[in-house]
Amino acid sequence: MISKEENILFAAEKLFAEKGFEGTSIREIAKAANVNISMISYYFGSKEKLYEKLVEYRMNEGQFFSKDILERTDINDWEKIEKIVDQFAGKVRHQKCFYRIMQREQLHTQNPHIVDFLKQTKMGFISMYSKILESGLKKGIFTKNPPIYLLHSTVSGTLFYASNAKEMYKEFLNNTDEEEIFDDTYYTELNTHIKYLLKDLLGYEENK
Amino acid sequence: MISKEENILFAAEKLFAEKGFEGTSIREIAKAANVNISMISYYFGSKEKLYEKLVEYRMNEGQFFSKDILERTDINDWEKIEKIVDQFAGKVRHQKCFYRIMQREQLHTQNPHIVDFLKQTKMGFISMYSKILESGLKKGIFTKNPPIYLLHSTVSGTLFYASNAKEMYKEFLNNTDEEEIFDDTYYTELNTHIKYLLKDLLGYEENK
Amino acid sequence: MISKEENILFAAEKLFAEKGFEGTSIREIAKAANVNISMISYYFGSKEKLYEKLVEYRMNEGQFFSKDILERTDINDWEKIEKIVDQFAGKVRHQKCFYRIMQREQLHTQNPHIVDFLKQTKMGFISMYSKILESGLKKGIFTKNPPIYLLHSTVSGTLFYASNAKEMYKEFLNNTDEEEIFDDTYYTELNTHIKYLLKDLLGYEENK
Amino acid sequence: MISKEENILFAAEKLFAEKGFEGTSIREIAKAANVNISMISYYFGSKEKLYEKLVEYRMNEGQFFSKDILERTDINDWEKIEKIVDQFAGKVRHQKCFYRIMQREQLHTQNPHIVDFLKQTKMGFISMYSKILESGLKKGIFTKNPPIYLLHSTVSGTLFYASNAKEMYKEFLNNTDEEEIFDDTYYTELNTHIKYLLKDLLGYEENK
DNA sequence: CATGAATGAGCGTTCATTCAT
DNA sequence: CATGAATGAACGCTCATTCAT
């Protein structure tokens, strides 16, 4: 059973993703969530706080998502990288709305809460990459030591850009498949591509 | 001498970049441009049209930017790719506001004018890459034939992401240089990185 | 107890009557009705819709006003005509604001709602006159068969014109009576005059 | 040759008639008259003064229109009445725009100039009617002595009302004639009708 | 008896929020 | 952990007019 609060949250997420924070009115959200306008201020305090709550909600939902990957011993460092990419790509694909919001936030944001969330996430990634890279280098699995921020920019940037431009590329590729099938192919190809880049960047050789 | 119209245009660009279209009021723009509110409608017709005019203005400004690269005979196909990356990176660096606006537009946009501009630009890039790749493959300069859209996503995505996250990375890198100097290093490193990725993707070997 | 909505409606009616639709601002209405400006959009949606609502309100109020006259059997056809004139004159006198608005609307109007209301009213009158005239002719009460539209123009036109010019005529007649008393005399005389004209037009003789 | 000033005046007249004073913007007038917006204030001082000038212009054009009728000796008093009605009806028919404006003004007006014009016109009519009635009674041409203001209201009211409702009646009469022909018939019938009413009111018998 | 740029006030409307229940 | 009415501020825009030339 979905709560009234989550109902509002999800309606807001969709609208914020589509039209941005300022472009979305609480009237629209209320209508989409099928609740009275005053409910939003009532539940969340304000439009701003609803926004923050939403980010918080999604962050909590996925915050432990790759923490434990680091500590796993059943897979090697490259496989850990693969897992991270898989997980991240999966999220970008299936939490499209939320990641759209986060991307828009990276373009400005004055909200200190969101800035914090963003920094935290980014630093989380960077620290994971660092640790794996260090370990992999030590073990000789990786042979190159690229700046982490470039590695991160490449993975996240390519993933986001390709995700956003999907519709345009679809048109360009003259694709006629239905949504789900095209998506599968698209994200698989994208995923492989990113891993290919990472192998090069890290100097990882598959069958060594 | 800067005209009143351009004055408005540039003030608007900065604000739109910072706060988005809906987040910026014509009152703010008028104040920033030091003109009367009614001037915006007077010169441009409406806030929306000002926005479109701005995009048009920047697009025109840079529209011939790499068309002639294709036809040059004094440089080989790889050098053409390098030129495109250099130019593009230069723009993203120095027209930060405009590219911020365009990135935000990629996250939704209902405005058909902007959609058109975006498509046009993207297709322009893709067509350029295609031609150079084809030519380079024929000549044996390139040895791989990656999907153009992935190549494009990687270049644009990495560039944009790194550009947006600059301040965060700067902090992470504990940099104490002044703005200009850090920027130089940052974009040089970024540029080299992207070219490195492209060499790998295209199978180009420098001193063959 | 008068509702806030009616409060706005009546304030608007007075102002629209005095200054026309375009000549009246919602700020004036709000001030006159002693409510916040935003209440107009809140209650009615827009200034235009408030206007339409007002017309609708007054029309509904008086819509059954003479429908049943036709079916009465206790009075003859001439007396029916008299009743209609009495009722109509009473309305014009006591709903001065509304009829002022409607007269102004007859001078142009683009609003399809209002056009419809006007047509409806006019056709209602014409149909009533037609039926009574036909019946009266059959019974020999009336001996003439004038074009209905001329009959209607005479009644409505004379009534409206005299009503509008009342103040000027009052001055001309050097009248010193107080408002209410002058009004009584004025409208009584006017009423008698119109009936006199109708008798002539219909060929009705009182004591036949 | 039509002057630029008259050009503006006539464009304004048409628009004021259609949409009222407040409903018409000087931008519209300027566009219709094919002149620069600032010309209106330049020529006439203000929108208000343009309006007054227009009324003045039309009043002057027709002010002596029936003054000399009174002094004529070649026609009797009834024929004088007929001439007045003919002239008035002709004006209402052919100066439709101007009379529309004047009717609208009768419904309110704050402008003292216009109030004066209206009063002047009305009093002119009333005085003419008075003199002719007095003379006709003395000579025995008229046998009744109705209140002048009722006589005037009937003539003007019927004429105006019928003129305004023409399109609606046209529809009602299922008329298929072309504009000009229907107009001829309509105004002839209307004119005859008004004279018929006047004969009754004045107690005039044609072939006595 | 001209012109086009520019102005500030005011327009109708919508906004996020709060109040009374 | 509810509701619907009501609010004042701000929105984008148009208005009649004026200014500089």
Q: Which 3 state secondary structure label does DSSP give A73?
A: coil
Q: What is the pLDDT of residue C207?
A: 64
Least confident of B129-143, C167-181, D47-61: C167-181
- Name the percent of chain B lying above pLDDT 70: 96
**D207 band by pLDDT with thresholds 50, 70 and 90:** low
Question: In angstroms, what CA-CA distances link C21 with A60, C201, D22, D115?
Answer: 56, 37, 9, 20
pLDDT of C147 > 70? The answer is: yes
**D64 band by pLDDT with thresholds 50, 70 and 90:** low
Output the average pLDDT for chain B: 91
Residue D7 (CA) to nucleotide E3 (C1'), in angstroms, measures 18
- Which residue do the tokens 């819709």 mark? C49
Q: What is the pLDDT of residue A208?
A: 52
Q: What is the pLDDT of residue C93?
A: 95
Residue closest to E13 C1′ by Cα: C41
pLDDT of D208 > 60? The answer is: no
Output the average pLDDT for chain C: 91
Do B and A make contact, counting contact as 3+ CB pairs within 8 angstroms? yes
Q: What is the pLDDT of residue D172?
A: 80
Closest nt to A42 (CA→C1')? F1
Question: In angstroms, what CA-CA distances link A111 with A21, A55, A106, A123, C180?
Answer: 11, 12, 11, 18, 67
For chain B, how many residues are written?
A: 208
Q: Which residue has the higher pLDDT, B111 or B48?
A: B48
Q: For chain B, say whether A120 makes contact (Cβ under 8 Å).
A: no
Residue C190 (CA) to nucleotide F19 (C1'), in angstroms, measures 56
Q: What is the pLDDT of residue A87?
A: 93
CB B108 within 8 A of CB B166: no
Residue D43 (CA) to nucleotide F18 (C1'), in angstroms, measures 14
Residue D40 (CA) to nucleotide E2 (C1'), in angstroms, measures 11
Q: For residue range D123-182, what is the model confidence (pLDDT) as tens digits?
A: 888 999 999 999 999 999 999 999 999 999 999 999 999 999 998 888 888 888 888 899
pLDDT of B208 > 60? The answer is: no
Residue closest to F10 C1′ by Cα: B25
Q: Which residue has the higher pLDDT, A111 or A135?
A: A135
**D91 band by pLDDT with thresholds 50, 70 and 90:** very high
Which of C150, C164, C168 is closest, CB to CB, to D107?
A: C164
pLDDT of A171 > 60? The answer is: yes
**C119 band by pLDDT with thresholds 50, 70 and 90:** confident
Q: What is the pLDDT of residue D169?
A: 86
pLDDT of A3 > 70? The answer is: yes
Q: What is the pLDDT of residue C173?
A: 81
The predicted model gives A55-65 an average pLDDT of 79
Q: How far does the CA of residue B192 sit from the closest CA of chain A (Å)?
A: 10
**A71 band by pLDDT with thresholds 50, 70 and 90:** confident
CB contact under 8 A, D20 and C22: yes
Chain E nucleotides reached by a protein CB under 7 Å: 1-19
Q: What is the pLDDT of residue C208?
A: 52
Residue type, B82: E
Q: Which chain A residue lies closest to B155 (C-alpha atoms)?
A: A158
**B117 band by pLDDT with thresholds 50, 70 and 90:** confident
CB contact under 8 A, D19 and C18: no
Can you say whether the dihedral through the CA atoms of B133, B134, B139, B144 is positive or negative? positive
The predicted model gives D75-91 an average pLDDT of 94
How far apart CA C41 and CA C49 sit, in angstroms, is: 9
Least confident of A154-163, C105-114, D99-108: C105-114
Please check whether strand E approaches the CB of C143 to within 7 Å: no
Least confident of A162-166, B148-152, C123-127: C123-127
pLDDT of B115 > 90? The answer is: no
pLDDT of A65 > 70? The answer is: no
- Name the percent of chain B lying above pLDDT 90: 72
Q: For residue range C20-41, what is the model confidence (pLDDT) as tens digits?
A: 999 999 999 999 999 999 999 9
**C118 band by pLDDT with thresholds 50, 70 and 90:** confident
Q: Which long-range contacts (CB under 8 A, 24 or more apart) does B69-78 make?
A: B69/B128, B70/B128, B70/B131, B70/B132, B76/B136, B76/B139, B76/B141, B77/B132, B77/B133, B77/B135, B77/B136, B77/B139, B77/B141, B77/B142, B78/B136, B78/B141, B78/B142, B78/B199, B78/B202, B78/B204
Residue B204 (CA) to nucleotide E18 (C1'), in angstroms, measures 66
Output the average pLDDT for chain D: 90
Closest nt to A39 (CA→C1')? F2
Residues in D 47-66 whose C-beta is less than 7 A from nucleic strand F are 47-48
How far apart CA B86 and CA A151 sit, in angstroms, is: 20
Q: What is the pLDDT of residue C1?
A: 58
| φ, ψ dihedrals at C113, nearest 5° | -60, -50
pLDDT of B67 > 90? The answer is: no
Query: Which residues from chain D sit within 8 angstroms of residue C107, using beta carbons?
Result: 17, 20, 100, 103-104, 164
CB C39 within 8 A of CB C4: yes
Q: For chain C, say whether D118 makes contact (Cβ under 8 Å).
A: yes
- Name the percent of chain A lying above pLDDT 90: 70
CB B124 within 8 A of CB B142: no
Q: What is the pLDDT of residue D63?
A: 65
pLDDT of B201 > 70? The answer is: yes
Q: What is the pLDDT of residue B1?
A: 59
Residue closest to E19 C1′ by Cα: A38
Q: Which 3 state secondary structure label does DSSP give B63?
A: coil
Q: Which chain B residue lies closest to A166 (C-alpha atoms)?
A: B149
Please check whether strand E approaches the CB of C47 to within 7 Å: yes
Structure tokens at B118: 């975006």
Q: How far does the CA of residue D1 sit from the closest CA of chain C (Å)?
A: 31
Q: What is the pLDDT of residue A202?
A: 97
Q: Which residue has the higher pLDDT, D178 or B139?
A: B139
Closest alpha carbon to C105 in D96, D104, D23, D11 = D104
pLDDT of D190 > 60? The answer is: yes
Question: In angstroms, what CA-CA distances link A2 with A7, A56, A82, A94, D172?
Answer: 7, 18, 34, 19, 61
The predicted model gives C63-87 an average pLDDT of 87
Q: Which residue has the higher pLDDT, C69 or C109?
A: C69
Q: For chain B, say whether A195 makes contact (Cβ under 8 Å).
A: no
**Orientation of helix C77-94 relative to helix C148-164, angle to 10°:** 30
Residue A178 (CA) to nucleotide F5 (C1'), in angstroms, measures 48
Q: What is the pLDDT of residue B122?
A: 87
pLDDT of A63 > 70? The answer is: no
Q: What is the pLDDT of residue B10?
A: 96
